[in-house]
Amino acid sequence: MTESKFTPDIQLSDLLPTGADGLITVSGKAVLACIGIDVIRSVVLDVLTGRNIRNATEILTRQRIAELNLATLYLFIKGTASIENFVERLPYIASDILSRGKTNKAEKWLAQWVLGLTDKGVQNILRDDVQLLGGNRESFVEKCREIVSTYT
């Protein structure tokens, strides 16, 4: 099968629930706006007085993980409902997005995640060469198939 059969012109972020792309690329400013200056002051005080900072941040981390898990499930449900053979096409969609070049950070990170990559992985594994995406994608898909066959 050729790659073009698998790559509809879509953005993965379009398959996320509204606002979920902000979970992927949250900034320090956004965190401050979300939790408020009083919480930040309390965390700074806790650090300076030797308290465990994780007590203050754990609930925020759990909430963000839960929201990202829900957004990921939503992406798969919406993708499966709107794109034929979505799960099989997904790695091709992701590599196509990364091959396009300029894209926003959330879209890039989603596409990398689908292929088991991070920014550092793109640098170290692909050496920032998009020509190597196809081989890496096929290797990752094969590894995923092996893992699925182990549990089915």
- Return the pLDDT at 7: 58
pLDDT at 102 exceeding the cut of 50: yes
Q: What is the pLDDT of residues 30-44, one digit of tens each?
A: 777 777 888 788 888
- Read off the pLDDT band of 6 (50, 70, 90): low
The type of residue at 22 is G
| Residue whose entry in the numeric block shows the structure tokens 């979505």 | 86
Range of the domain at 72: 3-151
Rounded to an integer, the average pLDDT of 78-98 is: 94
pLDDT at 5 exceeding the cut of 70: no
Instruction: Please count the structural domains in the chain.
Output: 1
- Read off the pLDDT band of 130 (50, 70, 90): confident
CA-to-CA separations, 125 to 40, 41, 64, 134, in angstroms, rounded:
38, 41, 28, 12
Q: What is the pLDDT of residues 12-33, one digit of tens each?
A: 999 999 988 888 887 778 777 7
pLDDT at 129 exceeding the cut of 70: yes
CA-to-CA separations, 123 to 62, 92, 129, 134, 141, in angstroms, rounded:
30, 20, 8, 15, 20
Alpha helices in the chain (DSSP H): 21-24, 28-35, 37-48, 54-82, 86-99, 105-114, 119-124, 133-151
Mapped onto helix, strand or coil, the DSSP state of residue 84 is: coil
DSSP string of 111-124, one letter each residue: HHHHTT--HHHHHH
pTM surpassing 0.85? Answer: no
